[in-house]
Structure 1
Amino acid sequence: MRIASLLVPDFPLAALIRSFPELRERPVAVAAGPSPRDTVLAASPEAQALGVSAGMTAAQARQVDGRVAVRTVPKEVQAAASAALVEVAGSFSPHLRQVQPGLVWLKVDGLEGHFAEEQALALEIWRRCFRVGLAAHVGIGNSGQLATVAARTGEVVVVPQGAEAGFLAPLAVTLAEPSAGCGHTLALWGVRTFGALAKLPREEVVARLGEEGLRLHRLACGEGEDFVPDPPGEELREGVWLEEAVPSLEGCLFVLHGVLSRLAERLRLRGEGFARVRVELALEGGGKREYRLPLLAPTDEVPALLALARLMFAAAPPGEAVEGVVVEAQGGVVRSVQGSLFGPPRPHPGSLAAALVRLSAIVGPERVGQPQLANSHRPSAWKLVPFALSWEKKKESPLPAEKPPVLRLWQPPKPAQVTVVGGKPVAVRVNGSGGVVVAWAGPYRWQGEWWGEGAFDRDDYDVATADGAVWRLFYHRKEKRWYVDGVYD
């Protein structure tokens, strides 16, 4: 069995710089909390050069040099960076295990046909980690622990099969990060390297160090271990919390662009785009505002998503300054839009979605959609449903020899003045139009839904007037009034 270890050194610092690229190459220290007495967990090379080190307090780090920026890492930022590392591993194989934040084991058996050698595979894993904003170390060996030890010795390290014990022999046992008690005991024994540990009798080591001693001795001897992968996840989450609240729409969109770009890169590793997007804004004062972007089809275009977000923010402003942005996304296969060779070009789903959001902002979301016949006996009954693109090719029905006339319905129906002689309509006036009836058909009586508020009882007529118009009229029997339902083309 061959296992790759994806290890991000100083993970809290790496997660912070991933979400705030402007901190790269600056003296930064990550503290465990906001208190001046909280411990520094990690420091950037620039901060270390000034004298800052892990273990000192935040107050001490600030006193070393005023240029040192001491920050805490929001849990959402760490969770997003951890999930991004998992996504990189998942882009190679679904058989992976997240050992801890910043450390993922990946089973790489079966990938020989895609890479000439394991060194090339390790380099590609390293490149993909860099693409999602993580400076990871990659090790490959016959077990997750061996691969992790290898990753702690360099950026890209592959331990050949059969050379495990020889590779480990000169290395310090501390690279396996034993517990404090176990490490102290090994130091008392004078065991500093894996080679020295491997020479000890296993039974004696287990008798004194227990299960941890067995694990370390097996590792020192270069033995493999069982690998149990985690179940795969479906939803991606990415977020960022700001030091200062952003009051403007443009500032909020700038932050959102970075979050969406990182999510897009993670989805690209899956071969997917955005299918569903939920944006949650953390507002100053503790409030929250949620937006769901109306995507008609999966897309990998971040500018199109930003355009949708801009329109939705403008239609329903957050109302307060924004302190944090969290985006949850579900992936879907991005389909290419291919039009007919002789037909008109088809609209791109992203552009169409943006147009629908603009219309919703103007007339209201309840007035934008596509008509659908309603399950009702009411004449011309229909309802408005959300617009959706269909990628399935529909079977075309043969065209009738004679096209039926098109009835253009008016919503709501317009009141009409109808002159009736002998039970027959002889003249129609609608908003100054109409005239003498030259032909008519009807009445067609419709009754139904008497058990609810939508009861209807009407007589329908189709009438042609002298001016050439053909109308659909109906007589409301309960109101005893005439209405025009629409006009035929």
Structure 2
Amino acid sequence: MSRVMCVWLPNFSIQRVRAERPELNGRPCVLYRASARQAVQVAACSRSASRAGVRPGMPLAEARALLDGAVREGRLPEPVFLPNSPDADQAALRSLAWACSRFSPWVSIEPSEPPDTLVLDLTGCVHLFGDEWAMAARVAGMLHRRGYFSFVALADTIGAAWALAHYGALARGRARRLQSLPVDALRLPAPVLQTLHDLDLHRIGQVERLPRASLPSRFGSILVQRLDQLAGRQPESLVPIPPPEYIEACRSFEDPVSDARALAVALRPLFDQVLKTLPPREGILRCTVRLQTADKEPVTFDVGLVRPTESAEHVIQLLQLQWQRRPLPRQVMGIDIRVTQSAPMLSRQRWLFGDGAGLSGVQQEAGRHLADLLDRLSSRLGPNAVVRPRLHPDAQPERAVVDEPVQPFVVAACAGRDHRKATRACTGREAKGGGKAGLPGRQTRSPVADRPLRICQPPMAVQVMSVVPEGPPLRVWRNGRSEDVVRSWGPERIQTGWWREETVRRDYFRVELQDGRHLWLFRDLVRDQWFLHGMFD
């Protein structure tokens, strides 16, 4: 079954302006345009301007008068008036659509006027992000970090997802949710909607109860088409947007260049050029520098960063570190730069007093210096040489932590991702005879996720005495010493699936010894042997 996600960005023109210019937040904003009669009209307005009486289509002079009166009365701050730019809106929406391509390979812009809706085909993609709710939250969170507010809905058809995203708050009940939506949710032309309202047909359910044969002659074929698309009786194609063009800059030399310092000087204006071409408030996250040679194949250097940057000097320093690891060609005839990945810059709050020398300022500066250090180490040693531990959703404890490169563009190549489903495992509950703690062998309840920080790799074989083979440990022999167990927790059954090369079936116990130490033991049910797997601090 196909699944479709619709993302509606209400009042997108105003959202786009405020995302590009955050200093306008909190101020009434009005976008104006020239009409066919050469009169200047309001194209869009913010919510605060609407509360003052401003409406789209209103003459700009009337909107100014209303807002000036609200400012004199102290109800609103000073408003801002800007020209409307449909081209900028279209470019910004395409940029958001490209950003959503990380969630689905099929992303489209819904043809509407003005454009404000994205459509994603999620068929076969939802399981990569957990479930539909988690995926919708990630899409909305990504847009929120870019400064946009959105409504997200999922359904089996494009029409149903569009209707729920725009009018889902008006639905009554779940069984007949689409039928209770207004007819405006059918994406009909304005004349058809006006005819339906004149006939007192305000809900989709009312229209569906009319004789189907009479609908084309009374309202046109578009009404039947939209009803069939809503219910899935007629397919609706989704045209994905083409991939974005890379931002590039190049330069050729009249004479061959072999000096690294000369190349660094030539790179500076090229990086300044690509940084100016990037969307507002975005920086370089990954770029490729290609050196054209006279007699050999081009030499390529990939530069990745932990966080986006607008500093050309920082990227050039990372390149110079790579040049220490890889020799430069003797005769360089030209340089090509391509920005393969960009990302929004991390915003920093301005300090009210001083230069941010307090604790928060020190923490922010430490984070920036740490990112710079990781960038330099990755460039000097290679991106796969600088790694960090990451929890991996695997039931087998020795596979629950993996190492991944710190640079984000390499993370995708690592095995396992946080949003993927965990390996199937069987987690056993405590035995029925478990009671209160305090006596040897008596079991108490413990959280399943309780894990020691120190793991023995590989597990250490030990000897254990218990009343019954599958019972809790009573005594442990380790390093030639016998230690009595004061109390224990468990068992916790961990079992991997049949697709693993080696079947793992274990019963884990956390035990407390007489000296207060806590050990993590398990009984291998396949080999019928006990092992020490970790120690709690």
Q: Give the TM-score normalised by structure 1.
A: 0.51
Pair 1:68–1:177, CA change in 2 (3 A): farther
Query: Structure 1 counterpart of 2:190, which letter?
Result: A
Which SS does the other structure have where 2:235 is aligned?
coil
Q: Is the 8 A contact 1:274 1:299 kept in 2?
A: yes
1:181 to 191, 195, 216: 191
Mapped to 1, the partners of 2:86 and 2:304 lie a distance apart of 28
Quick check: 1:273 aligned with 2:286? yes
Pair 1:305–1:220, CA change in 2 (3 A): closer
Which residue in 1 is equivalent to 2:304?
A: 299
Which residue in 2 is equivalent to 1:40?
A: 42
Mapped to 2, the partners of 1:130 and 1:64 lie a distance apart of 31
Q: Is the 8 A contact 1:260 1:302 kept in 2?
A: no
Which residue in 2 is equivalent to 1:342?
A: none
Percentage identity across aligned positions?
Answer: 21
Shift of 1:52: 1.5
Query: Structure 2 counterpart of 1:225, which letter?
Result: P
Pair 1:92–1:221, CA change in 2 (3 A): closer
Stretches of structure 2 lacking an aligned partner (at least 5 in a row) = 69-77, 248-271, 291-299, 337-378, 383-537
Q: Is the 8 A contact 2:283 2:310 kept in 1?
A: no
Mapped to 1, the partners of 2:64 and 2:42 lie a distance apart of 11
Mapped to 2, the partners of 1:171 and 1:154 lie a distance apart of 7
Which residue in 2 is equivalent to 1:122?
A: 136
Query: Structure 1 counterpart of 2:136, which letter?
Result: A
1:215 to 225, 245, 251: 225
Pair 1:190–1:387, CA change in 2 (3 A): closer
Indicate the structure (1 or 2) with the bigger Cα radius of gyration. Answer: 1
Shift of 1:72: 1.7
Mapped to 2, the partners of 1:186 and 1:355 lie a distance apart of 69
1:88 to 99, 105, 130: 99
Which residue in 2 is equivalent to 1:438?
A: none
Quick check: 1:113 aligned with 2:127? yes
Pair 1:386–1:131, CA change in 2 (3 A): same
| Equivalent residue runs for 1:7-22 within 5 Å | 7-22=8-23
Show CA shifts across 1:40-76 (max 9, x none): 2221112122222222122211111233222123355
Pair 1:103–1:223, CA change in 2 (3 A): same
Count of residue pairs the alignment pairs up: 291
1:226 to 232, 236, 246: 236
Q: Is the 8 A contact 1:197 1:217 kept in 2?
A: no
Mapped to 2, the partners of 1:352 and 1:276 lie a distance apart of 11
Shift of 1:210: 2.7
Pair 1:22–1:275, CA change in 2 (3 A): farther
Pair 1:49–1:354, CA change in 2 (3 A): farther
Shift of 1:92: 0.6
Mapped to 2, the partners of 1:104 and 1:189 lie a distance apart of 32
Which segment is superposed worse, 63-72 or 225-234? 225-234
Which SS does the other structure have where 1:229 is aligned?
coil
Pair 1:23–1:349, CA change in 2 (3 A): closer
Mapped to 2, the partners of 1:40 and 1:46 lie a distance apart of 14
Show CA shifts across 1:237-285 (max 9, x none): 7xxxxxxxxxxxxxx99x9599464365xxxxxxx734489xxxxxxxx
Query: Structure 2 counterpart of 1:183, which letter?
Result: L
Query: Structure 2 counterpart of 1:92, which letter?
Result: F
Quick check: 1:196 aligned with 2:206? yes
Mapped to 2, the partners of 1:186 and 1:257 lie a distance apart of 48
Mapped to 2, the partners of 1:384 and 1:16 lie a distance apart of 43
Pair 1:154–1:193, CA change in 2 (3 A): closer
Quick check: 1:98 aligned with 2:109? yes
| Equivalent residue runs for 1:301-320 within 5 Å | 304-308=309-313
Shift of 1:28: 0.5
Pair 1:92–1:354, CA change in 2 (3 A): same
Pair 1:228–1:71, CA change in 2 (3 A): same
Shift of 1:371: 5.0
| Equivalent residue runs for 1:231-246 within 5 Å | 232-235=242-245
Which SS does the other structure have where 1:168 is aligned?
coil
Shift of 1:236: 5.9
Query: Structure 1 counterpart of 2:109, which letter?
Result: Q
| Equivalent residue runs for 1:137-148 within 5 Å | 137-148=151-162
Query: Structure 2 counterpart of 1:131, which letter?
Result: R
Shift of 1:21: 1.2
Stretches of structure 1 lacking an aligned partner (at least 5 in a row) = 238-251, 265-271, 278-294, 309-347, 357-368, 373-382, 393-489
Q: Is the 8 A contact 2:187 2:226 kept in 1?
A: no
Pair 1:96–1:181, CA change in 2 (3 A): same
Show CA shifts across 1:90-149 (max 9, x none): 111111222233212111111232344322222221111112222121111121121111
Quick check: 1:134 aligned with 2:148? yes
Q: Is the 8 A contact 1:137 1:155 kept in 2?
A: no
Which residue in 1 is equivalent to 2:317?
A: 351
Pair 1:349–1:30, CA change in 2 (3 A): closer
Pair 1:61–1:115, CA change in 2 (3 A): same
Which SS does the other structure have where 2:220 is aligned?
helix
Q: Give the TM-score normalised by structure 2.
A: 0.47
Mapped to 2, the partners of 1:116 and 1:384 lie a distance apart of 49
